[in-house]
Amino acid sequence: MAVPKRRQSNARTGSRRAHDHLKPRELTYCPKCSTAKPSHVVCPNCGYYMGRVIVEPKEEK
């Protein structure tokens, strides 16, 4: 069975894990209502995507 001969140092472990972090999602602004939203997603405020209405917006009371 393959077993490491020596213990791996904390520096080497940290160097290996340096690229494992999560990045926050990039936000873009809706051209119609200027609400911040994730890219390639229907706008939750006005329902627009790619220049046309995809989802009818809910009317607030």
What digits encode the pLDDT tens for the residues 3-55? 999 999 999 999 999 999 999 989 999 999 999 999 999 998 888 998 888 88
The pLDDT value recorded for residue 60 is: 63
CA 16 from centroid of its chain's CA atoms:
23
- Those residues whose C-beta lies under 8 Å from the C-beta of residue 32, and which sit 6 or more positions away, are 43, 46, 48
Which pTM was predicted? 0.56
- For residue 61, name the pLDDT band (cuts at 50, 70, 90): low
DSSP annotation string for 29-44: E-TTT--EEETTS--T
H-helix segments, 1-61: 10-16
d(CA 34, CA 7): 53
| pLDDT over 80 (residue 2) | yes
For residue 14, what are its two tokens? 């940290």
